[in-house]
Chains A and B, each alone.
Chain A
Amino acid sequence: MAETVTTGHASQTTAVAWEPRIIGFLCYWCSYTGADSAGTARMKYPPNMDIIKVMCSGRIDPELITTAFANGADAVVVLGCHIGDCHYISGNHKTMVRMPLMRRILEDLGIEPERFRHEWVSAAEGEKFSKLVAEVTEQVRELGPLDWPRLMRERGVGHGADLKAWGE
Chain B
Amino acid sequence: MGAQGQGHTNGKLKIGMYWASSCGGCDISLLEIGPRILDLIKVADVVFWPCVADFKYRDAAGYPDGYMDVCFYNGGVRSTEQEEVARLLRRKSKTLIAYGACAVGGGIPALANLKSRAEIYDVVYHQNPSTDNRGGVVPEPLHEVPQGELELPEFYPAVLRLKDVVPVDYEIPGCPPQADRVWESIQAVVSGAVPPRNAAVRVGCTEKSVCDECPREKRLVKIKAFRRHHQFRPEPGWCLLEQGILCMGPATRSGCGALCLKADMACEGCYGPPPNAEDQGTCMVGALGALLDVSTEDRAREMVAEIADPTGTFYRFSLSSSFMKLGK
Contacts and interface: CB of A to CB of B under 8 A. Distances in A.
Contacts of B312: 108
Contact of B297 (A83, A101, A109, A110): A83
Contacts of B87: 163-166
A93 interface: yes
Interface residues of A, number: 39
B289 A163 contact: no
B14 interface: no
Contacts, number: 128
A62 B296 CA distance: 20
A13 interface: no
A81 interface: no
A79 B311 CA distance: 24
Interface string B306-327: 0100111010000000111111
Report whether over half of chain B's contact residues are helix, strand or loop; otherwise say mixed: helix
A70 B91 CA distance: 32
A152 B295 CA distance: 38
B260 interface: no
Interface centre among A61, A69, A70, A97, by most chain B C-beta atoms within 10 angstroms, is A97
Interface string A86-99: 00000001111110
A101 B288 contact: yes
Nearest to A159: B156
A92 B259 CA distance: 35
Contacts of A104: 304, 307, 310-311
B42 interface: no
A158 B327 contact: yes
Contact of B164 (A63, A96, A110, A157): A157
Contact of B83 (A67, A83, A163): A163
Contacts of B156: 156, 159-160
Contacts of A98: 285-286, 288-289
Given A96-B294, A104-B304, A166-B85, A160 B286 contact: no
Contacts of B165: 160
B133 to A, nearest CB: 26
Interface stretch (B67-75, B96-104, B206-214, B275-283): B275-283
B83 A160 contact: yes
B84 interface: yes
A101 B223 CA distance: 15
Interface centre among A102, A158, A167, by most chain B C-beta atoms within 10 angstroms, is A167
Nearest to B84: A166
Contact of A152 (B294, B301, B325): B325
A97 B84 contact: no
Interface string B264-295: 00000000000001110111011011101011
B80 interface: yes
B1 to A, nearest CB: 24
Contacts of A167: 57-58, 61, 88
9 contacts: A63-B286, A101-B289, A104-B311, A110-B114, A158-B327, A160-B165, A163-B83, A163-B87, A166-B81
Given A65-B282, A98-B285, A104-B311, 16 more contacts: A62-B285, A96-B294, A97-B292, A97-B300, A101-B307, A101-B310, A104-B310, A108-B114, A149-B328, A153-B326, A156-B160, A159-B156, A163-B83, A164-B87, A165-B91, A166-B60
Interface of B: 57-58, 60-61, 80-81, 83-85, 87-88, 90-91, 113-114, 156-158, 160, 164-165, 277-279, 281-283, 285-286, 288-290, 292, 294-297, 300-301, 303-304, 307, 310-312, 314, 322-328
